[in-house]
A and B are shown apart, each in its own frame.
Chain A
Amino acid sequence: MEVVITLFLDGLSRGMIYFLLAAGLTLIFGVLNVINFSHGAFYMLGVYSTFLAVKYMNMGLAFIVVPIFLALIGGVAEFVLFRRIYKSEHVMQILLSLGVIYIISDSIRLIWGVAPKSVTMPSFLQGLFRSGNLLIPRYNLFIIIVTLSIVIIMFLILYKTKTGSIIRACTINQELTSCAGINVPSVFLLVFMAGVGLAGLAAVIAAPVVTGMLGMDAQMIIIAFSVVIIGGVGSIAGALIAALIIGVVESLGILVLPGFAETFMYIIVVVVLFLKPDGILGKPMT
Protein backbone atom coordinates (compact mmCIF):
# COMPACT_ATOMS: atom_id res chain seq x y z
CA MET A 1 0.00 0.00 0.00
CA GLU A 2 2.78 2.34 0.92
CA VAL A 3 4.36 1.56 -2.39
CA VAL A 4 1.28 2.76 -4.18
CA ILE A 5 1.20 6.02 -2.26
CA THR A 6 4.87 6.62 -2.82
CA LEU A 7 4.47 5.94 -6.49
CA PHE A 8 1.39 8.11 -6.58
CA LEU A 9 3.27 11.04 -5.13
CA ASP A 10 6.12 10.31 -7.47
CA GLY A 11 3.63 10.50 -10.28
CA LEU A 12 2.31 13.78 -8.99
CA SER A 13 5.72 15.34 -8.99
CA ARG A 14 6.40 14.03 -12.46
CA GLY A 15 3.09 15.46 -13.49
CA MET A 16 4.02 18.82 -12.08
CA ILE A 17 7.09 19.00 -14.25
CA TYR A 18 5.06 17.95 -17.27
CA PHE A 19 2.56 20.61 -16.37
CA LEU A 20 5.14 23.40 -16.32
CA LEU A 21 6.34 22.29 -19.71
CA ALA A 22 2.86 21.91 -21.13
CA ALA A 23 1.66 25.18 -19.63
CA GLY A 24 4.18 27.10 -21.66
CA LEU A 25 3.20 25.14 -24.73
CA THR A 26 -0.54 25.60 -24.30
CA LEU A 27 0.01 29.30 -23.70
CA ILE A 28 1.93 29.64 -26.94
CA PHE A 29 -0.44 27.42 -28.84
CA GLY A 30 -3.57 28.94 -27.38
CA VAL A 31 -2.67 32.60 -27.64
CA LEU A 32 -0.44 32.66 -30.69
CA ASN A 33 -1.91 29.67 -32.48
CA VAL A 34 1.57 28.45 -33.26
CA ILE A 35 2.63 24.84 -33.07
CA ASN A 36 6.01 24.95 -31.44
CA PHE A 37 7.61 21.54 -31.67
CA SER A 38 10.87 23.01 -30.46
CA HIS A 39 9.50 23.54 -26.97
CA GLY A 40 11.12 20.30 -25.89
CA ALA A 41 14.43 21.48 -27.28
CA PHE A 42 14.21 24.67 -25.22
CA TYR A 43 13.55 22.53 -22.20
CA MET A 44 16.63 20.47 -22.99
CA LEU A 45 18.62 23.67 -23.29
CA GLY A 46 17.28 24.62 -19.87
CA VAL A 47 18.45 21.39 -18.29
CA TYR A 48 21.93 21.79 -19.71
CA SER A 49 22.03 25.42 -18.67
CA THR A 50 21.10 24.41 -15.15
CA PHE A 51 24.12 22.18 -15.12
CA LEU A 52 26.25 25.15 -16.05
CA ALA A 53 24.53 27.44 -13.59
CA VAL A 54 24.94 25.04 -10.72
CA LYS A 55 28.58 24.61 -11.60
CA TYR A 56 29.38 28.30 -11.39
CA MET A 57 26.72 29.55 -9.05
CA ASN A 58 24.30 27.61 -6.95
CA MET A 59 20.94 26.00 -7.29
CA GLY A 60 19.06 28.92 -5.84
CA LEU A 61 20.40 31.38 -8.37
CA ALA A 62 19.83 28.86 -11.11
CA PHE A 63 16.12 29.06 -10.37
CA ILE A 64 16.17 32.66 -11.44
CA VAL A 65 18.87 32.73 -14.04
CA VAL A 66 17.89 29.77 -16.19
CA PRO A 67 14.26 30.71 -16.86
CA ILE A 68 15.28 34.27 -17.65
CA PHE A 69 18.04 33.09 -19.94
CA LEU A 70 15.64 30.75 -21.71
CA ALA A 71 13.02 33.46 -22.00
CA LEU A 72 15.58 35.71 -23.68
CA ILE A 73 16.52 33.04 -26.17
CA GLY A 74 12.83 32.42 -26.77
CA GLY A 75 12.35 36.10 -27.35
CA VAL A 76 15.06 36.14 -29.98
CA ALA A 77 13.55 33.09 -31.66
CA GLU A 78 10.14 34.71 -31.67
CA PHE A 79 11.38 37.96 -33.07
CA VAL A 80 13.53 36.49 -35.80
CA LEU A 81 11.62 33.38 -36.75
CA PHE A 82 8.28 32.56 -35.27
CA ARG A 83 6.81 35.99 -35.71
CA ARG A 84 6.73 35.54 -39.45
CA ILE A 85 4.77 32.34 -39.54
CA TYR A 86 1.81 33.09 -37.33
CA LYS A 87 -0.40 33.24 -40.35
CA SER A 88 1.24 30.37 -42.18
CA GLU A 89 -0.10 26.90 -42.61
CA HIS A 90 0.58 24.48 -39.80
CA VAL A 91 2.97 22.49 -41.96
CA MET A 92 5.29 25.45 -42.20
CA GLN A 93 5.12 26.08 -38.48
CA ILE A 94 6.00 22.51 -37.68
CA LEU A 95 8.82 22.55 -40.20
CA LEU A 96 10.20 25.78 -38.81
CA SER A 97 10.21 24.42 -35.29
CA LEU A 98 11.96 21.37 -36.70
CA GLY A 99 14.71 23.62 -37.97
CA VAL A 100 14.93 25.28 -34.59
CA ILE A 101 15.23 21.88 -32.94
CA TYR A 102 18.14 20.98 -35.17
CA ILE A 103 19.85 24.26 -34.37
CA ILE A 104 19.33 24.00 -30.64
CA SER A 105 20.27 20.36 -30.22
CA ASP A 106 23.40 20.63 -32.27
CA SER A 107 24.37 23.82 -30.46
CA ILE A 108 24.02 21.90 -27.24
CA ARG A 109 26.25 19.21 -28.66
CA LEU A 110 28.73 21.90 -29.69
CA ILE A 111 28.87 23.49 -26.27
CA TRP A 112 28.49 20.56 -23.94
CA GLY A 113 29.51 17.52 -25.90
CA VAL A 114 27.79 14.19 -26.11
CA ALA A 115 28.31 12.87 -22.60
CA PRO A 116 25.23 12.93 -20.37
CA LYS A 117 25.21 15.55 -17.70
CA SER A 118 23.70 15.50 -14.30
CA VAL A 119 23.06 17.98 -11.59
CA THR A 120 23.53 17.07 -7.98
CA MET A 121 20.64 17.82 -5.76
CA PRO A 122 21.13 20.46 -3.11
CA SER A 123 21.80 18.67 0.16
CA PHE A 124 18.91 20.06 2.11
CA LEU A 125 16.51 18.67 -0.42
CA GLN A 126 17.98 15.24 -0.48
CA GLY A 127 16.78 12.37 1.53
CA LEU A 128 13.46 11.05 2.52
CA PHE A 129 10.60 12.46 4.41
CA ARG A 130 8.99 10.25 6.96
CA SER A 131 5.37 10.12 7.82
CA GLY A 132 4.49 7.02 9.71
CA ASN A 133 5.33 4.17 7.40
CA LEU A 134 5.58 6.41 4.40
CA LEU A 135 8.91 7.27 2.86
CA ILE A 136 8.72 10.09 0.41
CA PRO A 137 11.67 11.69 -1.32
CA ARG A 138 11.92 15.24 -0.07
CA TYR A 139 12.50 16.48 -3.55
CA ASN A 140 9.16 15.23 -4.74
CA LEU A 141 7.44 17.28 -2.07
CA PHE A 142 9.59 20.22 -3.03
CA ILE A 143 8.52 19.90 -6.66
CA ILE A 144 4.85 19.68 -5.75
CA ILE A 145 4.96 22.66 -3.44
CA VAL A 146 6.96 24.87 -5.76
CA THR A 147 4.85 24.06 -8.79
CA LEU A 148 1.62 24.67 -6.93
CA SER A 149 2.92 28.08 -5.94
CA ILE A 150 3.76 28.80 -9.54
CA VAL A 151 0.29 27.70 -10.61
CA ILE A 152 -1.27 30.06 -8.10
CA ILE A 153 0.93 32.90 -9.28
CA MET A 154 0.01 32.16 -12.88
CA PHE A 155 -3.68 32.21 -12.14
CA LEU A 156 -3.32 35.44 -10.24
CA ILE A 157 -1.50 37.02 -13.13
CA LEU A 158 -3.88 35.79 -15.76
CA TYR A 159 -7.08 36.60 -13.99
CA LYS A 160 -6.28 39.47 -11.67
CA THR A 161 -3.94 41.70 -13.54
CA LYS A 162 -4.42 43.93 -16.52
CA THR A 163 -1.69 42.14 -18.45
CA GLY A 164 -3.43 38.87 -17.82
CA SER A 165 -6.72 40.11 -19.18
CA ILE A 166 -4.96 41.41 -22.24
CA ILE A 167 -3.43 38.04 -22.83
CA ARG A 168 -6.75 36.33 -22.42
CA ALA A 169 -8.34 38.84 -24.75
CA CYS A 170 -5.77 38.04 -27.38
CA THR A 171 -6.64 34.38 -27.15
CA ILE A 172 -10.24 35.10 -27.89
CA ASN A 173 -10.07 37.78 -30.53
CA GLN A 174 -6.86 39.25 -31.86
CA GLU A 175 -8.27 41.84 -34.21
CA LEU A 176 -10.55 43.35 -31.66
CA THR A 177 -7.77 43.55 -29.13
CA SER A 178 -5.47 45.38 -31.50
CA CYS A 179 -8.28 47.75 -32.38
CA ALA A 180 -8.56 48.53 -28.71
CA GLY A 181 -5.11 50.00 -28.96
CA ILE A 182 -3.19 47.11 -27.57
CA ASN A 183 0.09 46.35 -29.24
CA VAL A 184 -0.59 42.78 -30.18
CA PRO A 185 2.90 41.90 -31.46
CA SER A 186 4.40 42.92 -28.13
CA VAL A 187 1.88 40.82 -26.30
CA PHE A 188 2.82 37.90 -28.51
CA LEU A 189 6.48 38.42 -27.77
CA LEU A 190 5.72 38.52 -24.08
CA VAL A 191 3.63 35.39 -24.19
CA PHE A 192 6.21 33.49 -26.19
CA MET A 193 8.94 34.49 -23.78
CA ALA A 194 6.76 33.56 -20.83
CA GLY A 195 6.04 30.19 -22.40
CA VAL A 196 9.68 29.41 -22.96
CA GLY A 197 10.50 30.77 -19.53
CA LEU A 198 8.08 28.25 -18.06
CA ALA A 199 9.94 25.54 -19.92
CA GLY A 200 13.09 26.86 -18.31
CA LEU A 201 11.47 26.65 -14.90
CA ALA A 202 10.44 23.09 -15.63
CA ALA A 203 14.02 22.38 -16.62
CA VAL A 204 15.53 23.78 -13.44
CA ILE A 205 13.16 21.86 -11.25
CA ALA A 206 13.62 18.67 -13.22
CA ALA A 207 17.39 18.96 -13.53
CA PRO A 208 18.36 17.21 -10.29
CA VAL A 209 16.20 14.22 -11.10
CA VAL A 210 16.78 13.71 -14.78
CA THR A 211 19.95 13.10 -16.72
CA GLY A 212 20.65 15.60 -19.37
CA MET A 213 21.27 13.85 -22.62
CA LEU A 214 20.78 14.55 -26.28
CA GLY A 215 17.46 13.29 -27.49
CA MET A 216 15.54 14.01 -24.31
CA ASP A 217 13.62 16.68 -26.13
CA ALA A 218 11.85 14.19 -28.39
CA GLN A 219 10.45 12.34 -25.41
CA MET A 220 9.36 15.48 -23.63
CA ILE A 221 7.73 17.22 -26.55
CA ILE A 222 5.44 14.29 -27.19
CA ILE A 223 4.44 14.21 -23.54
CA ALA A 224 3.97 17.98 -23.51
CA PHE A 225 1.74 17.90 -26.58
CA SER A 226 -0.17 14.96 -25.22
CA VAL A 227 -0.88 16.93 -22.08
CA VAL A 228 -2.01 19.88 -24.17
CA ILE A 229 -4.33 17.72 -26.25
CA ILE A 230 -5.84 15.93 -23.28
CA GLY A 231 -6.21 19.04 -21.22
CA GLY A 232 -7.47 21.16 -24.06
CA VAL A 233 -5.58 23.71 -26.07
CA GLY A 234 -5.24 27.04 -24.34
CA SER A 235 -6.42 25.82 -20.98
CA ILE A 236 -3.90 26.00 -18.15
CA ALA A 237 -6.22 24.29 -15.73
CA GLY A 238 -6.77 21.51 -18.22
CA ALA A 239 -3.03 21.14 -18.65
CA LEU A 240 -2.66 20.78 -14.91
CA ILE A 241 -5.24 18.04 -14.64
CA ALA A 242 -3.97 16.24 -17.72
CA ALA A 243 -0.35 16.47 -16.63
CA LEU A 244 -1.10 15.05 -13.21
CA ILE A 245 -3.10 12.22 -14.73
CA ILE A 246 -0.32 11.35 -17.12
CA GLY A 247 2.31 11.59 -14.40
CA VAL A 248 0.41 9.33 -12.06
CA VAL A 249 -0.50 6.84 -14.78
CA GLU A 250 3.14 6.70 -15.80
CA SER A 251 4.26 6.05 -12.26
CA LEU A 252 1.63 3.49 -11.42
CA GLY A 253 2.07 1.94 -14.82
CA ILE A 254 5.40 0.63 -13.64
CA LEU A 255 3.51 -1.68 -11.34
CA VAL A 256 1.37 -2.97 -14.13
CA LEU A 257 3.48 -3.05 -17.26
CA PRO A 258 6.99 -1.70 -16.89
CA GLY A 259 8.71 -0.18 -19.86
CA PHE A 260 5.55 0.71 -21.70
CA ALA A 261 4.64 3.91 -19.94
CA GLU A 262 4.24 5.80 -23.17
CA THR A 263 1.70 3.33 -24.44
CA PHE A 264 -0.70 4.23 -21.63
CA MET A 265 -0.30 7.86 -22.50
CA TYR A 266 -1.02 7.26 -26.17
CA ILE A 267 -4.09 5.26 -25.30
CA ILE A 268 -5.40 8.10 -23.16
CA VAL A 269 -4.71 10.60 -25.93
CA VAL A 270 -6.52 8.52 -28.52
CA VAL A 271 -9.48 7.94 -26.20
CA VAL A 272 -9.75 11.63 -25.40
CA LEU A 273 -9.52 12.56 -29.06
CA PHE A 274 -12.42 10.30 -29.84
CA LEU A 275 -14.65 11.12 -26.92
CA LYS A 276 -13.98 14.77 -26.42
CA PRO A 277 -11.78 16.12 -29.20
CA ASP A 278 -11.38 19.52 -27.61
CA GLY A 279 -9.77 18.06 -24.56
CA ILE A 280 -11.05 18.08 -21.03
CA LEU A 281 -11.28 21.82 -20.65
CA GLY A 282 -10.48 23.09 -24.06
CA LYS A 283 -12.11 25.55 -26.39
CA PRO A 284 -12.87 24.28 -29.88
CA MET A 285 -9.97 24.61 -32.26
CA THR A 286 -10.70 26.69 -35.33
Chain B
Amino acid sequence: MFFETRSLRKWFGGLKAVDGVSFHVKPGEICSVIGPNGAGKTTLFNLITGYIKPDEGEVYFKGDNITARSPVYITRKGIAKSFQIVNIFPRLTAYENIMVAMLSQKRKSFKIFQSAKSLFRDECYAILESIGLGEHALTSAGQLPHGNQKRLEVGIAMTMKPSLLVLDEPTAGMAIEEKAGVLSTIKNMIRDQDCTILLIEHDMNVIFGISETIWVMYNGKMITSGSVGDIKNNEEVRKIYLGEKE
Protein backbone atom coordinates (compact mmCIF):
# COMPACT_ATOMS: atom_id res chain seq x y z
CA MET B 1 0.00 0.00 0.00
CA PHE B 2 1.51 3.28 -1.12
CA PHE B 3 -0.02 5.51 1.51
CA GLU B 4 -2.67 4.81 4.08
CA THR B 5 -3.89 5.90 7.46
CA ARG B 6 -5.56 3.66 10.00
CA SER B 7 -8.08 5.01 12.49
CA LEU B 8 -6.37 8.32 13.02
CA ARG B 9 -7.74 10.26 15.92
CA LYS B 10 -6.89 13.66 17.29
CA TRP B 11 -8.63 15.54 20.06
CA PHE B 12 -8.22 19.19 20.90
CA GLY B 13 -9.63 19.41 24.39
CA GLY B 14 -13.15 18.10 23.95
CA LEU B 15 -13.22 18.56 20.22
CA LYS B 16 -12.70 15.50 18.06
CA ALA B 17 -10.94 17.13 15.14
CA VAL B 18 -10.09 13.86 13.45
CA ASP B 19 -12.27 10.94 14.51
CA GLY B 20 -11.12 7.59 13.22
CA VAL B 21 -9.96 8.40 9.72
CA SER B 22 -8.78 5.50 7.60
CA PHE B 23 -8.10 6.27 4.02
CA HIS B 24 -5.55 5.50 1.37
CA VAL B 25 -3.93 6.98 -1.69
CA LYS B 26 -2.99 5.01 -4.78
CA PRO B 27 0.39 5.70 -6.35
CA GLY B 28 0.44 8.11 -9.24
CA GLU B 29 -3.06 9.44 -8.72
CA ILE B 30 -4.38 12.86 -7.89
CA CYS B 31 -6.42 12.44 -4.75
CA SER B 32 -8.47 15.22 -3.20
CA VAL B 33 -9.98 15.60 0.22
CA ILE B 34 -12.99 17.85 0.39
CA GLY B 35 -15.41 18.85 3.06
CA PRO B 36 -16.93 21.92 4.66
CA ASN B 37 -14.90 24.18 6.90
CA GLY B 38 -14.10 22.60 10.21
CA ALA B 39 -14.36 19.08 8.88
CA GLY B 40 -10.82 18.39 10.01
CA LYS B 41 -9.03 18.32 6.68
CA THR B 42 -6.13 20.53 7.65
CA THR B 43 -5.72 18.72 10.95
CA LEU B 44 -5.64 15.45 9.03
CA PHE B 45 -2.91 16.79 6.77
CA ASN B 46 -0.97 18.06 9.76
CA LEU B 47 -1.15 14.60 11.31
CA ILE B 48 0.04 12.98 8.13
CA THR B 49 3.00 15.28 7.62
CA GLY B 50 4.22 15.19 11.19
CA TYR B 51 3.26 18.71 12.21
CA ILE B 52 1.19 17.34 15.09
CA LYS B 53 1.06 13.92 16.67
CA PRO B 54 -2.06 11.78 16.56
CA ASP B 55 -3.66 10.60 19.78
CA GLU B 56 -4.53 7.28 18.18
CA GLY B 57 -4.04 5.54 14.88
CA GLU B 58 -1.27 5.00 12.42
CA VAL B 59 0.09 6.35 9.20
CA TYR B 60 1.89 4.13 6.70
CA PHE B 61 3.90 5.28 3.73
CA LYS B 62 5.51 2.85 1.31
CA GLY B 63 5.31 0.18 3.94
CA ASP B 64 6.96 2.23 6.68
CA ASN B 65 5.15 3.31 9.80
CA ILE B 66 5.61 7.05 9.88
CA THR B 67 3.19 7.78 12.68
CA ALA B 68 4.29 10.60 14.94
CA ARG B 69 7.67 10.98 13.27
CA SER B 70 9.15 14.43 12.87
CA PRO B 71 8.56 16.48 9.74
CA VAL B 72 12.28 16.34 9.05
CA TYR B 73 12.10 12.55 8.83
CA ILE B 74 8.86 12.43 6.91
CA THR B 75 10.03 14.94 4.35
CA ARG B 76 13.22 12.99 3.87
CA LYS B 77 11.11 9.89 3.28
CA GLY B 78 9.36 11.54 0.37
CA ILE B 79 6.29 13.40 1.57
CA ALA B 80 6.41 17.15 1.00
CA LYS B 81 3.81 19.61 2.14
CA SER B 82 2.77 23.04 1.01
CA PHE B 83 0.95 25.16 3.52
CA GLN B 84 -2.44 26.75 3.48
CA ILE B 85 -1.11 29.98 4.94
CA VAL B 86 1.91 31.02 2.98
CA ASN B 87 5.00 29.78 4.76
CA ILE B 88 8.10 30.85 2.87
CA PHE B 89 11.39 32.52 3.69
CA PRO B 90 10.37 36.17 3.39
CA ARG B 91 13.68 37.95 3.32
CA LEU B 92 15.31 35.60 0.84
CA THR B 93 14.78 35.96 -2.87
CA ALA B 94 12.59 33.53 -4.75
CA TYR B 95 15.72 31.90 -6.12
CA GLU B 96 17.21 31.57 -2.65
CA ASN B 97 14.01 30.05 -1.33
CA ILE B 98 14.23 27.29 -3.90
CA MET B 99 17.98 27.02 -3.52
CA VAL B 100 17.76 26.31 0.19
CA ALA B 101 15.22 23.56 -0.38
CA MET B 102 17.32 22.15 -3.20
CA LEU B 103 20.43 22.08 -1.05
CA SER B 104 18.54 20.23 1.63
CA GLN B 105 17.09 17.76 -0.82
CA LYS B 106 20.54 17.03 -2.21
CA ARG B 107 21.75 16.62 1.37
CA LYS B 108 24.24 19.43 1.04
CA SER B 109 22.92 21.62 3.83
CA PHE B 110 25.95 21.03 6.02
CA LYS B 111 28.54 21.74 3.38
CA ILE B 112 30.79 24.62 4.22
CA PHE B 113 33.51 24.73 1.64
CA GLN B 114 31.39 25.34 -1.41
CA SER B 115 29.61 28.37 -2.71
CA ALA B 116 25.89 27.78 -2.37
CA LYS B 117 24.93 29.93 -5.31
CA SER B 118 27.07 28.08 -7.74
CA LEU B 119 25.40 24.76 -7.09
CA PHE B 120 22.40 23.40 -8.96
CA ARG B 121 21.70 26.70 -10.72
CA ASP B 122 20.04 25.06 -13.69
CA GLU B 123 17.81 22.90 -11.56
CA CYS B 124 16.68 25.77 -9.38
CA TYR B 125 15.88 27.90 -12.39
CA ALA B 126 14.02 25.00 -13.95
CA ILE B 127 11.76 24.81 -10.93
CA LEU B 128 11.29 28.57 -10.88
CA GLU B 129 10.27 28.47 -14.54
CA SER B 130 7.86 25.64 -13.96
CA ILE B 131 6.03 27.58 -11.27
CA GLY B 132 6.06 30.70 -13.37
CA LEU B 133 8.44 32.74 -11.23
CA GLY B 134 11.42 32.71 -13.57
CA GLU B 135 11.51 36.46 -14.01
CA HIS B 136 11.00 37.15 -10.32
CA ALA B 137 13.94 35.05 -9.26
CA LEU B 138 15.77 37.95 -7.66
CA THR B 139 12.79 39.46 -5.88
CA SER B 140 12.49 39.27 -2.16
CA ALA B 141 9.93 36.58 -1.47
CA GLY B 142 8.12 38.69 1.08
CA GLN B 143 7.50 41.34 -1.52
CA LEU B 144 5.91 39.08 -4.07
CA PRO B 145 2.16 39.38 -4.50
CA HIS B 146 0.16 36.74 -2.69
CA GLY B 147 -0.47 34.55 -5.71
CA ASN B 148 3.21 34.35 -6.50
CA GLN B 149 3.98 33.56 -2.90
CA LYS B 150 1.61 30.63 -3.07
CA ARG B 151 3.34 29.41 -6.19
CA LEU B 152 6.67 29.69 -4.42
CA GLU B 153 5.13 27.73 -1.57
CA VAL B 154 4.27 24.90 -3.90
CA GLY B 155 7.63 25.24 -5.59
CA ILE B 156 9.52 24.70 -2.36
CA ALA B 157 7.54 21.55 -1.72
CA MET B 158 8.20 20.36 -5.25
CA THR B 159 11.92 20.90 -4.87
CA MET B 160 12.02 18.17 -2.28
CA LYS B 161 11.34 15.64 -5.05
CA PRO B 162 8.54 14.01 -3.13
CA SER B 163 6.81 10.81 -4.05
CA LEU B 164 3.73 12.17 -2.32
CA LEU B 165 3.02 15.86 -2.59
CA VAL B 166 0.55 17.11 -0.02
CA LEU B 167 -1.05 20.42 -0.93
CA ASP B 168 -3.20 22.36 1.50
CA GLU B 169 -5.42 24.67 -0.56
CA PRO B 170 -2.82 25.45 -3.21
CA THR B 171 -5.03 27.80 -5.19
CA ALA B 172 -6.61 29.70 -2.32
CA GLY B 173 -6.74 33.39 -2.99
CA MET B 174 -5.76 33.15 -6.62
CA ALA B 175 -7.48 34.55 -9.67
CA ILE B 176 -8.94 32.07 -12.14
CA GLU B 177 -6.18 32.47 -14.70
CA GLU B 178 -3.59 31.78 -12.06
CA LYS B 179 -5.36 28.67 -10.90
CA ALA B 180 -5.13 27.12 -14.33
CA GLY B 181 -1.40 27.72 -14.28
CA VAL B 182 -0.94 26.02 -10.94
CA LEU B 183 -3.03 23.09 -12.04
CA SER B 184 -1.01 22.49 -15.16
CA THR B 185 2.14 22.69 -13.06
CA ILE B 186 0.75 20.01 -10.79
CA LYS B 187 -0.15 17.81 -13.73
CA ASN B 188 3.33 18.25 -15.16
CA MET B 189 4.80 17.23 -11.87
CA ILE B 190 3.08 13.91 -11.98
CA ARG B 191 4.18 13.29 -15.50
CA ASP B 192 7.80 14.36 -15.02
CA GLN B 193 8.51 13.22 -11.55
CA ASP B 194 6.29 10.27 -11.03
CA CYS B 195 4.65 11.98 -8.11
CA THR B 196 1.37 11.36 -6.32
CA ILE B 197 -0.72 14.33 -5.29
CA LEU B 198 -2.93 14.65 -2.23
CA LEU B 199 -4.75 17.92 -1.93
CA ILE B 200 -7.32 19.91 -0.04
CA GLU B 201 -9.30 22.43 -2.01
CA HIS B 202 -12.46 24.41 -1.69
CA ASP B 203 -12.84 25.39 -5.30
CA MET B 204 -15.03 22.65 -6.75
CA ASN B 205 -14.04 23.47 -10.30
CA VAL B 206 -10.47 22.72 -9.46
CA ILE B 207 -11.42 19.54 -7.64
CA PHE B 208 -13.62 18.18 -10.37
CA GLY B 209 -11.15 19.36 -12.97
CA ILE B 210 -8.14 17.35 -11.93
CA SER B 211 -9.00 14.77 -9.29
CA GLU B 212 -9.03 11.09 -9.92
CA THR B 213 -10.22 10.10 -6.48
CA ILE B 214 -12.15 12.28 -4.07
CA TRP B 215 -12.55 11.64 -0.36
CA VAL B 216 -15.22 13.54 1.50
CA MET B 217 -14.65 14.50 5.09
CA TYR B 218 -17.24 15.74 7.56
CA ASN B 219 -17.02 16.23 11.31
CA GLY B 220 -13.71 14.48 11.53
CA LYS B 221 -14.74 11.35 9.66
CA MET B 222 -14.44 10.19 6.08
CA ILE B 223 -17.99 9.97 4.79
CA THR B 224 -17.41 8.55 1.37
CA SER B 225 -15.03 8.38 -1.52
CA GLY B 226 -15.11 7.82 -5.23
CA SER B 227 -14.43 9.24 -8.63
CA VAL B 228 -15.54 12.66 -9.79
CA GLY B 229 -18.75 11.27 -11.21
CA ASP B 230 -19.59 9.35 -8.03
CA ILE B 231 -19.15 12.35 -5.82
CA LYS B 232 -21.00 14.76 -8.05
CA ASN B 233 -24.05 12.60 -7.91
CA ASN B 234 -23.82 11.63 -4.28
CA GLU B 235 -26.85 12.69 -2.20
CA GLU B 236 -25.03 12.82 1.08
CA VAL B 237 -22.34 15.05 -0.31
CA ARG B 238 -24.92 17.40 -1.69
CA LYS B 239 -26.56 17.61 1.69
CA ILE B 240 -23.30 18.51 3.36
CA TYR B 241 -22.67 21.23 0.88
CA LEU B 242 -26.19 22.48 0.91
CA GLY B 243 -26.25 25.85 -0.65
CA GLU B 244 -22.88 25.58 -2.29
CA LYS B 245 -22.63 25.54 -6.06
CA GLU B 246 -21.19 22.43 -7.59
Let me know if chains A and B touch directly in the complex, using CB atoms closer than 8 Å: no
Q: Which residues of A contact B (CB under 8 A)?
A: none
Q: Which residues of B contact A (CB under 8 A)?
A: none
